[in-house]
């Protein structure tokens, strides 16, 4: 189902804080998580926005902060990784990690064996497990079934979230909305209005947080029901919109 959402008209000034999802929002999806790359143009766009907003810019992503750094190097950004299990509140700070890492490596191995190595890609992210079925879409129902079954055996609270061409298993406390609220509680974000751009189911929680805070929620590719109030057609339109904010 598609939704017709207006393109946001806002021009970001010092009263705004900008939160950005990465995959599907700033970067087009690729066959494999490691197959994406960041252009110099995107790096300098983010640097320019960060400068304009006096540092009130953070990426809020399902990737780990280490993976974000590797992608954007040498640029370092304020970031929440693993859906908010990790925070780096200043670009050069250490990464704060929430909770003790639970070992779900054994589960990852079992799922990989069941789905067939080389077909689905099992991304091991510490407490978060992503099963990517972009290269083998027929495996998505079985992958989803396997992670849902695992919920019964995992020691702590976990939930299953639909990914983009895949499925992820993550702790209950991992939520983009909470990550955005964390940033909004500190300088230079405090007192500003949040804007969040995302493209996926896990971003919906971020949209709700931003709506509650009187901000602007923008769904990229709004082809599914969404709580976002505005829409942008795809990555190209998103980058053009961001360039227009400089």
Q: In terms of DSSP H, where are the helices of 93-200?
A: 105-115, 140-150, 176-184
| Number of residue whose CB is nearest ligand L263DTV3 | 62
Q: Which is nearer to ligand L263DTV3, 15 or 28 (CB)?
A: 28
Q: Is the dihedral of CA 230, 236, 242, 245 positive or negative?
A: negative
21 is catalytic: yes
Using CA atoms, how far residue 236 sits from 42, 176, 232, 243, in Å, is 11, 23, 9, 11
Rounded Cα distance between 194 and 39, Å, is 26
Per-residue tokens: 229: 């109030």
Q: Which is nearer to ligand L263DTV3, 58 or 216 (CB)?
A: 58
Q: Which is nearer to ligand L263DTV3, 102 or 136 (CB)?
A: 136
In this structure, are strands 166-171 and 128-132 parallel, antiparallel, or unpaired?
Answer: antiparallel
Using CA atoms, how far residue 181 sits from 53, 73, 131, 158, 203, in Å, is 18, 26, 28, 21, 14
Tell the smallest beta-carbon distance from residue 34 to ligand L263DTV3 (Å).
8
Tell the smallest beta-carbon distance from residue 174 to ligand L263DTV3 (Å).
10
Tell the smallest beta-carbon distance from residue 190 to ligand L263DTV3 (Å).
24
Tell the smallest beta-carbon distance from residue 165 to ligand L263DTV3 (Å).
4
Residues that bind ligand L263DTV3 (CB under 6 A): 21-24, 29-33, 36, 61-63, 123, 125, 130, 132, 134, 163-166, 168, 200
CA dihedral 2, 27, 195, 80 (to 10 degrees): 120
Q: Which is nearer to ligand L263DTV3, 200 or 208 (CB)?
A: 200
> Which residues does the annotation mark as catalytic?
21
């Amino acid at each position: 189902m598609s939704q017709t959402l207006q393109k946001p008209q806002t021009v970001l000034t010092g009263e705004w804080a900008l939160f950005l999802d990465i995959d599907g929002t700033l970067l087009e999806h690729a066959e494999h998580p490691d197959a994406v790359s960041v252009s110099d143009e995107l790096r300098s766009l983010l640097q320019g926005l960060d400068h304009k907003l006096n540092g009130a810019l953070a990426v809020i992503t399902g990737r780990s902060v280490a993976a974000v750094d590797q992608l954007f190097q040498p640029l370092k950004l304020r970031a929440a990784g693993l859906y908010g299990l990790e925070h780096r509140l200043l670009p050069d700070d250490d990464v704060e990690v929430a909770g003790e890492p639970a070992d779900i490596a054994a589960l990852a191995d079992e799922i990989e064996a069941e789905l067939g190595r080389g077909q689905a890609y099992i991304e091991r992210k510490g407490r978060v497990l992503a099963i990517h079925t972009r290269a083998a879409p027929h495996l998505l129902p079985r992958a989803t079934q396997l992670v849902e079954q695992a919920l019964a055996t995992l020691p702590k609270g976990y939930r299953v979230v639909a990914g983009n061409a895949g499925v992820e298993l993550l702790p209950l406390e991992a939520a983009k909305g909470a990550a955005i609220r964390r940033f909004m509680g500190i300088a230079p974000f405090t007192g500003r209005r949040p804007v969040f751009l995302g493209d996926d189911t896990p971003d919906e929680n971020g949209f709700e947080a931003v709506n509650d805070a009187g901000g602007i929620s923008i769904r990229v590719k709004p082809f599914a029901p969404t709580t976002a109030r505005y829409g942008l057609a795809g990555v190209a339109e998103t980058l053009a919109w961001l360039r227009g904010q400089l």
